[in-house]
Amino acid sequence: MDGMAKLIILRGNSGSGKTTTGEALQRKFGRGTMLISQDVVRREMLFVKDGPNPEASKLLLELALYGKSKCNIIILEGILNSKWYKNLFEDLLNEFKDQIFAYYFHIPFEETLNRHQQKPNTYEFGEKEMREWWNEKDLLNIIPEALLYKELSLNEIVDIIYQDVIE
């Protein structure tokens, strides 16, 4: 690592593999890697709903800035709707500049449903909610995102991102 903190952003619809990938990346990069999960911040720490002008946005930024001062790698993962979190992404771009590695899980709805059914929280919500939340190819317009497809295994995705970041 060159001493500059690097930010990895993992975005996509519910059930696309963001959290699993974030956890695997944290293990691969090892100590000095901070994982920030939008769901943990929003649902567990703040206990707030998501939507326009999200209450979680400021804390996500504060956590990323803390990570920037203390860690080599910061991983931010979540659905992170591009419109609702626009200010967060602008602030992150100002802070991390060209040290942002952003990825979007471009996974078909049926595949996200299959993946969700393998998760421990499969009974907390189901197909109806996932259809309501669905946001087709919600790409950021200010930070370029590499697309990740369902054909890629977890190990392939982790290897791709790891290689991108360490180069």
What pLDDT, in 10s, does the model give residues 103-130? 999 999 988 888 888 877 777 888 898 8
Cβ atoms of 102 and 160 closer than 8 Å? no
What is the token pair recorded at 77?
């993962």
pLDDT at position 97, please?
96
pLDDT over threshold 80, residue 164: yes
DSSP, collapsed to helix, strand or coil, labels residue 52 as: coil
Rounded percentage of the chain residues whose pLDDT exceeds 70: 98
Q: What is the pTM of this model?
A: 0.93
pLDDT at position 122, please?
75
Cβ atoms of 73 and 5 closer than 8 Å? yes
Under the banding of pLDDT at 50, 70 and 90, the label for residue 141 is: very high
Q: Which residues contact 105 (CB under 8 A, 6 or more apart)?
A: 10, 11, 12, 13, 16, 17, 18, 21, 148
Question: What mean pLDDT do residues 121-146 have?
Answer: 89
List strand residue ranges (DSSP E) for 38-127, in order: 73-78, 100-106
CA–CA gap between residue 63 and residue 69 (Å, rounded)? 10
**Domain at 6-166: CATH code:** 3.40.50.300
Q: Which H or E element spans position 8?
A: strand 6-12
Comparing CA positions, the residue from 57, 62, 17 lying closest to residue 152 is 17
> How many Å is the Cα radius of gyration of the chain?
15
Domain limits, the chain: 6-166
Cβ atoms of 104 and 146 closer than 8 Å? yes
Of the two residues 54 and 121, the one the predictor is more confident about is 54
Q: Which residues contact 167 (CB under 8 A, 6 or more apart)?
A: none
Sheet holding 73-78, edge to edge: 33-37, 73-78, 6-12, 100-106, 145-149
